[in-house]
A and B are shown apart, each in its own frame.
Chain A
């Protein structure tokens, strides 16, 4: 989604105000007039100031263009699906990797993504690439760098 700068501007002004609201009960330093809220509020202030500048810029440069333009890929169901698939794959990984283990989870994620991006007819080579990538990553991070990647349902066996 591409929005006119004026709309981004309004968004960031509201965001700046939200910061002021969220910092309303932050404690102040003893013996001073300010505290934990000072710095975030300065950030909120500058964010709002940037927002005001963007409103001017957006109105000046609009020139009849629509306020909101949808990016070209949104109208292509395939690309739209790709976008959400990436998010879905990551959420899937976050939710199940601990239970299922790194090797099966990573394989599923890679296999699904590769099949989707390259076409289902390539499933054999996609499976091959997924297996290879999972093994390389597991060996490199899990064995060489000693990152405790979860084993999950895979019984623990040392390679």
Chain B
């Protein structure tokens, strides 16, 4: 409890609060514009957080993502385009409600269930992470190798249309991570004579390239112009809201629970949580026939689920240093940049920092109510910001952001190359999230693998000798061997699935 008080002190500092509010506004804006996702918001924030102490840096990412996930509902309901992939599950439903003249109700429900789901996620995160961390302290390099493998495996297999493509994308990320001096032998790898590459590929330009640059390319080559918003004003979003929430209170709890659990799975984030919750809501509904015609029930489930999932994804990220999705992968990268070693030792060495993350989750979700309300009210203007203006400015922002990390234009080159590569990969159905996870975890994976190999004197059986590592290894290998599992997962996603970009 003392730690919570210390953490409150850290967060309730004028500078941190200002950062939180600005990040919140930024997140809402990014989430509300289709094509700019919560992940891209995080990617663009990173160069800025680079200059901050850890607490405001983390608080800023937490707030921006929580806001962005909700804001994705805005274009979903008003334009029938999900603002972020996390809203894709119920975009048709929300738009059908707008068509029936219930835009206020659907946005209000989305907002309040997001707040409730987010707070639920924050509670679960605050209570489970410290307990799990205590357990994780007993882990050795064998367990970490399997944990990293497990996380990466899930990332490659769960959220993709084809496991082979997820695997290849992951390998690309891992390969990029091997560029530079090899830590075990001191030999430079794949730097092709470049001194700058000898230090490795910095993850910040890489990530900005993969998430932001690729989107710029997609936007300037889009043949179809984005649809215009209907001219209509948003009235009182709280009218009739109480009745809906009371009627579907079980859905709120169920959606939030599913959200946290799915989020905590390595490799699955808010978007998958929303798909699953929506499917579950339909299955257990008393009136499933109404789903798809503009029925609020599924939106309560999925709307709370995607925000609760956000808290869930931070559990494995904070406890083991294994990210649950691409946003937390970026967070892990940020922690490394800040000289911290994500994992259970942070709970011992800097517990106040972890508790500050918990507090910022609460803060962000409480703040979501007023800021979200403001975003809903200004949705008409927000959605009218022209792409042709936004993209060049974002491009320039990316350039300066990558430059800022090492103060050389070399990073800009890396961003460009990886932007082009990931644009083509995505066009051919390769997911990008596994690549970024591979890039972030590559170092840890290789280190723990090589350390374990040396400890075991090259005997691979040693990877299964400790009980926990045996269990983790068995789970990982089971997943490798059973693409069947993956089919079950994919059933939850709609057949016409909007492209799983994150």
Bind each other = yes
The one of B392, B409, B428 that contacts A110, using a Cβ cutoff of 8 Å: B392
- Least CB separation from B483: chain A residue: A53
Task: Quote the shortest CB–CB distance from A133 to chain B (angstroms).
Answer: 5
Say whether B454 faces chain A, with CB atoms less than 8 Å apart. Answer: yes
Interface size on B, residues (CB 8 A): 58
Q: Contact check, A40 vs B175: say whether CB atoms are below 8 A apart.
A: yes
Q: Contact check, A79 vs B221: say whether CB atoms are below 8 A apart.
A: yes
Known contacts A43-B171, A82-B220, A114-B389; is-contact A137 B427 (Cβ 8 Å): no
A103 to B168, CA, bound (A): 40
Chain B residues within an 8 Å CB radius of A114: 388-389, 392
Q: Contact check, B190 vs A22: say whether CB atoms are below 8 A apart.
A: yes
Q: Contact check, A141 vs B171: say whether CB atoms are below 8 A apart.
A: no
Say whether B348 faces chain A, with CB atoms less than 8 Å apart. Answer: no
Say whether A27 faces chain B, with CB atoms less than 8 Å apart. Answer: yes
Interface segment, B228-236, B376-384, B398-406, B471-479? Answer: B398-406
A118 to B388, CA, bound (A): 6
The one of A19, A54, A76 that contacts B164, using a Cβ cutoff of 8 Å: A54
Known contacts A2-B427, A83-B220, A114-B388; is-contact A98 B171 (Cβ 8 Å): no
- Which residues of A from 52 to 89 have beta carbons under 8 Å from B? 53-54, 57, 71-73, 76, 79-80, 82-83, 85-87, 89
Chain B residues within an 8 Å CB radius of A158: none
- Least CB separation from B162: chain A residue: A57
Known contacts A83-B217, A118-B388; is-contact A40 B165 (Cβ 8 Å): no
Q: Contact check, A12 vs B396: say whether CB atoms are below 8 A apart.
A: no
Known contacts A54-B165, A109-B396; is-contact A118 B389 (Cβ 8 Å): yes
Chain A residues within an 8 Å CB radius of B409: 93-94, 97-98
Which of B162, B217, B221, B222: most chain A Cβ within 10 A?
A: B221
Chain B residues within an 8 Å CB radius of A22: 190
Q: Contact check, B450 vs A39: say whether CB atoms are below 8 A apart.
A: yes
Q: Contact check, A149 vs B189: say whether CB atoms are below 8 A apart.
A: no
Q: Contact check, B400 vs A137: say whether CB atoms are below 8 A apart.
A: yes
A146 to B220, CA, bound (A): 31
Task: Quote the shortest CB–CB distance from A73 to chain B (angstroms).
Answer: 4
Chain A residues within an 8 Å CB radius of B184: 29, 35-36
A48 to B411, CA, bound (A): 29
The one of A12, A53, A148 that contacts B407, using a Cβ cutoff of 8 Å: A148
Say whether B51 faces chain A, with CB atoms less than 8 Å apart. Answer: yes
Say whether B216 faces chain A, with CB atoms less than 8 Å apart. Answer: yes
Main secondary structure of the interface of A (DSSP, over half): helix
Chain B residues within an 8 Å CB radius of A118: 386, 388-389
- Least CB separation from A52: chain B residue: B164
Say whether A32 faces chain B, with CB atoms less than 8 Å apart. Answer: yes
Chain B residues within an 8 Å CB radius of A46: 167, 171
A9 to B399, CA, bound (A): 33
The one of B163, B216, B223, B428 that contacts A2, using a Cβ cutoff of 8 Å: B428
A21 to B178, CA, bound (A): 15
Q: Contact check, A133 vs B395: say whether CB atoms are below 8 A apart.
A: no
The one of A36, A73, A113 that contacts B221, using a Cβ cutoff of 8 Å: A73
Q: Contact check, B395 vs A89: say whether CB atoms are below 8 A apart.
A: yes
- Which residues of B from 160 to 208 have beta carbons under 8 Å from A? 162-165, 167-168, 171-172, 174-175, 178, 182, 184-185, 187, 189-190
Q: Which residues of A contact B (CB under 8 A)?
A: 1-3, 5, 8-9, 12, 19, 22-23, 26-29, 32-36, 38-40, 43, 46-47, 49-51, 53-54, 57, 71-73, 76, 79-80, 82-83, 85-87, 89-91, 93-94, 97-98, 102, 106, 109-110, 113-114, 117-118, 129, 133-134, 137, 141, 145-149
Besides A50-B164, A109-B395, 14 other A-B contacts (C-beta < 8 A): A8-B428, A23-B189, A26-B185, A36-B187, A39-B446, A83-B221, A87-B420, A90-B395, A91-B416, A93-B412, A97-B409, A109-B399, A117-B391, A133-B392
Q: What 5 pairs across the A-B complex have the smallest Cβ distances? A: A53-B164, A117-B388, A113-B392, A82-B220, A73-B221
